Structure 1
Amino acid sequence: MTAQSVDHVSLLPLYAAAGTAVLVLLADLFFGRRVVLGALTAGGIATAVCAIVVGGSRAGTFCAPGGGACSWVPSPLAAVAAVVFAGLTVGVLGLSIPSLRLGTAPTGEFCFLLASSMTGGVVVGYAGDLITLIVGVETLTLPLYLLVGLRRFAPGEKVSTAPASASITFFLISVVSTAIALLGAALNYAATGALHLDRLLNATGPFAPVADAGVALLVIGLAFKVAAVPLHAWAPATYEGAPLPVAAYLSTASKLGGVLALAAIVARLDAAALTAVLAVLTMTVGNLVALRQTRMVRLLAWSSIAQAGYILAALALGAPGVAPAAAYAVFFVVLELIAFAVVVALRPPGADGGPLLAYRGAGRRSPWLGASLVLAFAGLAGLPPGLAGLFAKVTVVDALIDNNHGWLAGVVALNAVIGLAYYVRASALLYATPERVGIAVADPALLEAATHPRLPVSRAVGAVVVAASLVAVALGFAPQVLFDALG
């Protein structure tokens, strides 16, 4: 029996990501909090550098004998995904530093779980077979069960059940979704005998119904990860109950992993009808429910559900839609990170997102934070000056029209118009005149906005806001750079 070939250079991004988790564990054991934070930051940067060095043109590894299909496949999309996952990990760590200083979570455990999740994200990007893909998705997701509920309460502080409830909800839904995806993979393998993505084909003959059922179950199981309607109910409650930095990671890295996994399936197997239905339901329900939200994190949660619908619309095209969907996903996670970073900066350390009315006049108190949040909202809405979001939506609509899916492009455009309402409302609220303290204010949220002091912004959080905003502006003015990187 011929041994599998192993190219260790191709595995450098995985070595860097997994090594970061081990390094953080050792740093927590032998050194202090500062070393742990530095280890995760350095490991994230090293992972991104390794992905860039390896690139997307190198041959795969863990290949079948005789030069067959491989389980680890470098590609331009995989390299971009690894860089984005590493950047999100470092960014979320920066957002977490103020609350970690307060002791709301143990630093070592928090950083180890974050590094482990980053490792899973890297595996998803490079996965070349269904087993590696699902293992990567679960490695990305499993640490998040703990991160959502990882909360210490100070002596005398009122203990909230929200983090534990959110963690249990997320855990139960994810277990069900994983079981469905595994069943789909098993049915598809039973009908076709293929596990490697390059060998996945639509089955013909007597086993075709079994294979079709397997494809449908795979798509449904992975659709849970991106909170596609009607598989979305866990997302708003989980985001609201999780600490703000963890909610940011859920809304960006976790969703990106689900998008990459879905793209790997729909690019090779015909699931156009099911994906199109999910896309229409997701963007429509997400936007309509977002119109009624009164809390910031729930608004961002429903907004992210709607954004997932636009990505699914591109994936309904199959292989031609993978590049537009991936580009949209990258634009989205950068803009979403900006939005959550500004919310973290405007709220006290360790606090939740608060009601929307608590942000009344925040743009007047902190002009640069208000401008960054408006940039994020404009980008998510597809309006200038958020050029990154504008190019993302134009890319998806162009791809749909070019592939004779004009009706779906029309649904995307209609939903983009609906989404303007809540993005404009939230942006305008930032610059509304605060209520006067001397006047009786019936709504506690308005009173909070009227008396809210201008909090000093942590240098780490400020750095994340500035860095993410610069990336969004750069992508908006030079989107072709991202398209070229995706190959």
Structure 2
Amino acid sequence: MSLVQSVDHVALLPGYLSAGTAVLVLLVDLLLARPRATVAAAAFGATATALGAALVAAGGDRGTFCVADGCSWVADDRAGLVGTVFALLTLGVLALSGPLLRGGRVPVGEFCFLLACSMTGGVVLGAAGDLITLIVALETLTLPLYVLVGLRRGSLAGAEAAVTFFVVSVVATTVTLLGAALLYAVTGRLHLRPLGAALADGTLLDLPLTTVAVTLVVLGLAFKVAAVPFHAWAPATYDGAPVPVAAYLSTASKLGGVVALLAVVQYALPATVTGPVLALLAALTMTVGNLVALRQRRMVRLLAWSSVAQAGYILAPLGALALAAGRTADARAAAYAAAVAYAVFFVVLELAAFAGVVALRPDGADGGTIEQYRGVARRHRFVGAAFGLALVGLAGLPPGLAGLFAKVTVVRSLVAGGSGWLALVVAVNAVVGLAYYLRVAATLYASPTESAPSRTPSRSVIVALAAASAVAVVLGLAPQLLFDLV
């Protein structure tokens, strides 16, 4: 194997821009010490990163840090899409964080720096071409979140949530690294495509060590998407974190786990092993998430459990790959595309839902109980309508066409892949999910039991809510735009 590596700085541009954003935030915070300038620097860097990722993807597939059998960094359409989505999510969370940062309980410089570092991990994750780069990028995405969850001064709930998140995440990372080490011991490969080619050899698949290694990698990554039974950290962590941080956890962290799972399942790990594991995880995750969400009385906890259920819908197409492998390449491609598309649809709608929570709650407050939202859509019609649209979209009903199209795409991919039983589980769970999504949407427009003081939502939050709603509407009306990128 040749040890001479090529370095393509154009392919690395999104990584440079995202890492440069973190450095820029540090310098601005140090030299100017003005919170608005620090937030503006972070927003400028996130915008530049989104543009850079889109431009590099438009320039065609590129690879760098390449040796004879593969590249550690692959800048293709999917990497561009993932980098752009992570940068836009960062920009959206910055907008949601305006009231929190103005309250003074969260240090602005540290908050923006950690958010930029996490964005860097997401950008690198989308382009990862080997197991080491993938795992390091995933941890770069996750590590700053431990601190962000507990960064709010004087919050015991935030500290408890951060510790819970940290302990469980460390265990999951250890499991993933152990699985990756065993895979390297079996195959002698780290790059994803050569690893997949090595595992295609029937003699290696017959080794018990191979099955153990593949299972450990899949289970470790399943933590990142809060799949059952690795979901217990999510509700407590979301509820204890500041609401904008919970929004980032629910969207960016979950998207990172999906991207990592998709990369290893599509290119490296044998579908005959990963398919049954992911199918079982998907069925358990959507069922447990929906059933527990029915009993929730706090808004953020309900969104947390609903995001657990949504993770099951995302995993379902990947679980169908074992049967799809015996059919056609088109069935496998449909399964991959359905998983990516559903993940993007979900993060847009979820961000809009959290933006609605931030807009309707007092500055710096937690998510509150569902009952506290009674009748708020009558006082804030635009916010209530956008929040309701996000909830209806997550439920998969019109006029939330993005969510409806996402669920239909998943069911179609499962049927095409020969997993009719899993398609039936998805359909039943979608019906169960209607109960709590529609209950919350109805509460927004119910007659208030008592008069509540009206407040004007922050302008930055309104902008974030309007942008997320607009993207959801566009994707719902023209979903082929997303599939062309996938």
Give the TM-score normalised by structure 1.
0.94
Q: How does 1:362-401 map to 2 (within 5 A)?
A: 362-401=376-415
Equivalent-residue separation in structure 2 for 1:36 and 1:231 (angstroms): 36
Structure 2, unaligned runs of 5 or more: 322-331
**1:406 and 2:420 matched:** yes
- Superposed displacement of residue 59, structure 1: 2.0
The amino acid of 1:303's aligned partner reads: S
Instruction: Say whether the 8 Å CA contact 1:266–1:316 is kept in structure 2.
Output: no
Which position in structure 1 is the counterpart of 2:234? 235
Equivalent residue for 2:431? 417
- Tell me how far apart the structure 2 counterparts of residues 358 and 2 of structure 1 sit (CA, whole Å): 62
Q: Distance in 2 between matches of 1:212 and 1:453?
A: 59
**C-alpha distance in 2 between matches for 1:323 and 1:124:** 18
Alpha carbons 1:133, 1:261 under 8 Å: kept: yes
Aligned twin of 2:308: 305
Give 1:204's aligned amino acid. Answer: G
2:372 to 325, 349, 358: 358
Q: SS at the partner of 1:55?
A: helix
Q: Following superposition, which runs of at least 4 residues in structure 1 exceed 4 angstroms of deviation?
A: none
Residue 251 (structure 1) aligns with: 250
Partner letter of residue 481 of structure 2? V
Structure-1 separation of matches of 2:21 and 2:481? 28
CA RMSD of aligned residues (A): 1.1
Per-residue deviation, residues 207-244 of structure 1 (Å, max 9, x unmatched): 72211111100000000110000110000000000000
Q: Out of 149, 166, 171, which is 1:171 matched to? A: 166
Identity of paired residues, percent?
63
Q: Which residue of 2 is the match for residue 469 of structure 1?
A: 469
1:87-486 mapped onto 2 (5 Å cutoff): 87-153=88-154, 160-201=155-196, 202=199, 204-205=202-203, 208-268=207-267, 269=269, 270=271, 271-318=274-321, 319-320=332-333, 321-435=335-449, 450-486=450-486
Matched residue type, 1:116:
C
Counterpart-to-counterpart distance in 1, 2:145 and 2:16: 21
How far does residue 196 in structure 1 lie from its aligned partner after superposition?
A: 0.5
Q: Return 5+ residue gaps in structure 1 as ranges.
A: 154-159, 436-449
CA–CA distance in 2 between the matches of 1:15 and 1:391?
Answer: 35
Question: d(CA) in 2 for partners of 1:85 and 1:137?
Answer: 13
User: Is the contact made by 2:61 and 2:77 (CA closer than 8 Å) also made in structure 1?
Assistant: no
Measured in 2, the distance between the counterparts of 1:220 and 1:363 equals 41
Tell me if 1:17 matches 2:31: no
SS of equivalent residue, structure 1 residue 224? helix
Structure 1 letter corresponding to 2:124: V
Counterpart residue type for residue 231 of structure 1? F
Q: How far off is 1:451 after superposition?
A: 3.7
Q: CA deviation at 1:2?
A: 4.8
- Report SS of the residue matched to 2:225: coil
SS in 1 for 2:90: helix
Letter in 1 for 2:203: G
SS at 1:200 equivalent: helix
Q: Which AA in structure 1 matches 2:396?
A: G
Cα separation, 1, equivalents of 2:320 and 2:71: 25
How far is 1:58 from its partner?
Answer: 2.4
- How far is the alpha carbon of 1:204 from its aligned partner? 3.3
What secondary structure does 2:133 align onto? Answer: helix
1:445 corresponds in structure 2 to none
Distance 1:401 1:328 in 2: 16
TM-score, with normalisation over the residues of structure 2? Answer: 0.94
- Counterpart of 2:327 in structure 1 is none
Q: Report if aligned partners of 2:293, 2:436 keep a CA contact under 8 Å in 1.
A: yes
Distance in 1 separating the partners of 2:231 and 2:386: 28
Task: Report 1:69-84 matches (<5 A).
Answer: 69-84=70-85
Native 8 Å contact 2:320 2:418 kept in 1: no
Report the Cα distance in structure 2 between the residues aligned to 1:374 and 1:34, rounded to whole angstroms.
Answer: 31
- Equivalent in 48, 52, 55 of residue 53 of structure 1: 55
2-structure distance, mates of 1:219, 1:240: 27
Partner Cα separation in structure 2 for residue 322 and residue 25 of structure 1: 38
Residue identity in the other structure for 1:219: V
Q: Figure out how many residues of one structure are paired with residues of the other and give that number.
A: 464
Distance 1:128 1:347 in 2: 42
Q: Matches of 2:210 and 2:76 in 1, distance apart?
A: 27
